[in-house]
Amino acid sequence: MSDRDEMIRRRAYALWEIAGRPDGQEKEHWEQAVREMAPGEAGDADGLDTSSDQTQFDQSSPPVGGGQPYLRN
C-alpha cells in the first residue's frame, strides 16, 4: 500500500468515526477522503484538510464487525 493510499485509508476511517460509524457508507467516506487528497484542494501541504477534524485516529479499535472497510488493494 502506498503512503497516499494509507493516508486516504486513515482519513476515510476518521470520517467514518465522525459520522458515528454507520454501516454501508465505506464508499462515500473513501471517495470523500480521495477528494480531500486531490491536488489544489484547500488544506495543508499534502492536500489533506484536517482543520475541522478534531478526532484522533485510533488504530486500537477496529471498525464494527472487526473488518477493515477502508483497506483497498
Establish if 20 belongs to a structural domain.
yes
Establish if 29 belongs to a structural domain.
yes
Provide the 10 A C-beta neighbour count for residue 60.
Answer: 4
pLDDT, position 27? 94
Model pTM above 0.85: no
Establish if 52 belongs to a structural domain.
no
Predicted confidence band of residue 73 (pLDDT cuts 50, 70, 90): very low
Residues 55-66 have a mean pLDDT of: 52
Is the pLDDT at 11 greater than 70? The verdict is yes
pLDDT, position 71? 55
pLDDT, position 1? 78
Establish if 57 belongs to a structural domain.
no
> Which domain does 32 fall in, by range?
3-37
Instruction: Say if residue 73 is exposed, middle or buried (CB neighbours under 10 Å; 0-12, 13-18, 19+).
Output: exposed
Establish if 68 belongs to a structural domain.
no
Establish if 70 belongs to a structural domain.
no
Count up the domains in the chain and report the number. Answer: 1
- Condensed to tens digits (0 to 9), the pLDDT of residues 14-45 reads 999 999 999 999 999 999 999 998 876 544 44
Using CA atoms of 22, 28, 29, 31 in order, give the dihedral in degrees to the nearest 10. Answer: 170
